[in-house]
A = this chain, B = another copy of it.
Amino acid sequence: MVQKAAKGRDKAPAARDEPAAEPRRRGRPRAYDPETALAAAAEIFWKKGYDGTSLDDLAAATGMNRPSLYAAFGDKQTLYLKTLARYREEARIASTGLLTDDPPLRVFLKRFYKGALNLYITRDGDARGCYTVGTAATQAVADPKVRAFLAESIRGTDAFLAGIIAKARDKGELPRAADPQGLAQLACGTLHTLAVRARAGVPRKELEALAAVTVETICGSER
């Protein structure tokens, strides 16, 4: 199918329409909040995957008709990439937030995995796992944009964890011979397996036990 030129779509979500901060723009007011809609779109993608989610699904989840979705976010792939970017940014904020009181590595890792499990298993007990692993891994082989996103996301997690592990080693929390990059990848591996297991319906208690093993393996036995 021939791709038709986009008509003015890139402008749609650019301007703000917060009633308190700015005078009202001309034209009909929006019936949706972009961030809320993006979160709702991510939820349905999260459950059904990219290919398994139709525009009708997205319309129902967001409460927006399809032309509005297109006007606000662009085509299906573009919307999906936006949800991925949003997820990653939120994860980045949450992760760095765990470091504000400069905790020991063990404490950080416990928080890190607890936060991940809170995300991977909803309050209702629904198992969705990691959004990136659960959806982008499948798309990555056939879609170069998703693949690039996935690779960069993993690299970012590796680097983030390696930085923290290197600092812990320099503080004497780990042996001097410890390899921050290697251990970071091991820790990231646990994150990925938690994601896959959560999606498989593995109970939270088992996932917590797995996270604990990783913390002990990296930081040494607690005594």
Q: Is the interface of A mostly helix, strand, loop or mixed?
A: helix
| A138 pairs with B134, CB closer than 8 A | yes
| A141 pairs with B213, CB closer than 8 A | no
| A137 pairs with B48, CB closer than 8 A | no
- The answer to whether residues A200 and B140 also contact, given A209-B182, A214-B189, A217-B186 and a CB cut-off of 8 A, is yes
Which of A14-22, A70-78, A83-91, A125-133 faces chain B? A125-133
For residue A199, CB closer than 8 A to chain B, the reply is yes
**Considering only CB atoms and an 8 Å cut-off, how many residues of chain A contact the other chain?**
52
For residue A139, CB closer than 8 A to chain B, the reply is yes
| B137 pairs with A129, CB closer than 8 A | yes
Q: List chain B residues, Cβ under 8 A from A212.
A: 182
For residue A135, CB closer than 8 A to chain B, the reply is yes
Which of A5-13, A103-111, A146-154 faces chain B? A146-154
| B138 pairs with A201, CB closer than 8 A | no
Which of A61-69, A166-174, A190-198 faces chain B? A190-198
Nearest CB of B to A221, in Å? 8
For residue A59, CB closer than 8 A to chain B, the reply is no
Query: What does the 1/0 interface line of A177-212 toward B look like (CB < 8 Å)?
Result: 101001101101111111111011110000001101
| A48 pairs with B141, CB closer than 8 A | yes
Q: List chain B residues, Cβ under 8 A from A141.
A: 46-48, 126-129, 134, 199
For residue A97, CB closer than 8 A to chain B, the reply is no
| B200 pairs with A142, CB closer than 8 A | no
Q: For the complex, give the distance between the alpha carbons of A220 and B216 in Å.
A: 14
Q: For the complex, give the distance between the alpha carbons of A88 and B79 in Å.
A: 35
